[in-house]
Amino acid sequence: MSSILTNTSALSALQTLRSINSSMETTQDRISSGMRVGAAKDNAAYWSIATTMRSDNAALSAVQDAMGLGAAKVDVAYGGVEAAIDVVKEIKAKLVTATEQGVDKTKVQEEITQLQDQLKSIGASASFNGENWLAGGASDATVVTGFVRDTGGTVKVTTASYDAESNSLFGAYDSSTGEVGTTDGILKDVLAIDLSSASDSDVAGFLDNVETALTDMEKVGSTLGSLSKRISLQEDFAQKLSDAIDKGVGRLVDADMNEESTRLKALQTQQQLAIQSLSIANSNSQNILSLFR
């Protein structure tokens, strides 16, 4: 039946055209944004997971920066310990020289004094961002080592502790004078060496003190080296984890551009056919007029 009030064919064609236009809008949005899940309405579950993982990745990036800061502190302290060990070895060699018969201990002491001053300089310079782990550092110094989200959804930043106070080579650093203390720390006996009026037994005692200091310094260096290695490994893992999160989120929400471009071409063809179909349906009403001419 033909009706001038209700054009069933045109309504059907119009509904098809609307559906095609809606699909084209979705496809074009995916192509322009590169995402098939850009909002919660697209896929609430995937959008929620992706949002959480992006948040974690941002936190992980901040943790990486913090680990870089911690690594710098550890490396500065480790470098200071290595340099101090080399100087103490030189002092040891000078003490051995002082045990020889006929050696002017006063001249040897002049060299040792210069080496002692070099040790103090190392201690005062081994500071990073206001922290000096070689000169009276805190007993609970910490560095960031990671970021964890447990199965319950709770997040926390993990840290590693370092007892800079017990492992201190010098007494506390005085920022007003720019000098380190010499009456405390692992090197206190080395910094107190004075051959000016020392007997052979005194020199032997000085050598024992130097050996003890070297042993303790090697332990400190080993601890700092292990901590540095841990941070380095954690930095590598954090970078790999960040990349894995990016890939995982991409699999959830990124659009397949090859698929979307193919779909767009098909929808454009369907749109043209739907418009033509609507035009034909609308022309049927015009044909009715010819019956009344």
* Per-residue confidence (pLDDT) for residue 100, from 0 to 100: 84
* Per-residue confidence (pLDDT) for residue 235, from 0 to 100: 87
Q: Among residues 256, 255, 257, 266, which one has the least CA distance to residue 24?
A: 266
CATH architecture observed for domain 37-253? Up-down Bundle (1.20)
* Per-residue confidence (pLDDT) for residue 288, from 0 to 100: 67
**CA–CA separation, 245 vs 251, rounded Å?**
10
12 vs 121, higher pLDDT: 121
* Per-residue confidence (pLDDT) for residue 281, from 0 to 100: 76
What is the pLDDT confidence band of residue 14, given thresholds at 50, 70 and 90? Answer: confident
pLDDT, tens digit, for every residue of 42-54? 788 888 888 888 8
CB 180, CB 120: distance < 8 Å: yes
What is the pLDDT confidence band of residue 275, given thresholds at 50, 70 and 90? Answer: confident
Domain borders along the chain are 37-253, 258-284
pLDDT, tens digit, for every residue of 76-110? 999 999 999 999 999 999 999 888 887 888 899 99
* Per-residue confidence (pLDDT) for residue 31, from 0 to 100: 83
**CA–CA separation, 69 vs 63, rounded Å?**
10
* Per-residue confidence (pLDDT) for residue 192, from 0 to 100: 93
- Which residues have C-beta within 8 Å of that of residue 270, sequence separation ≥ 6? 20
pLDDT, tens digit, for every residue of 184-193? 999 999 999 9
pLDDT, tens digit, for every residue of 106-115? 899 999 999 9
For the residues 226-231, what does the mean pLDDT come to? 90
152 burial (CB, 10 Å; 0-12 / 13-18 / 19+) is: exposed
Provide the percentage of residues in the chain whose pLDDT is more than 70: 92
Q: Among residues 26, 36, 22, which one has the least CA distance to residue 256?
A: 36
pTM: 0.73
pLDDT, tens digit, for every residue of 127-153? 888 888 999 878 888 888 877 776 666
Lowest mean pLDDT among 125-139, 179-193, 239-253, 278-292: 278-292
Task: Please state, as a whole number, how many other Cβ atoms lie within 10 Å of the Cβ of residue 144.
Answer: 21
Q: Among residues 22, 31, 6, 61, which one has the least CA distance to residue 245?
A: 61
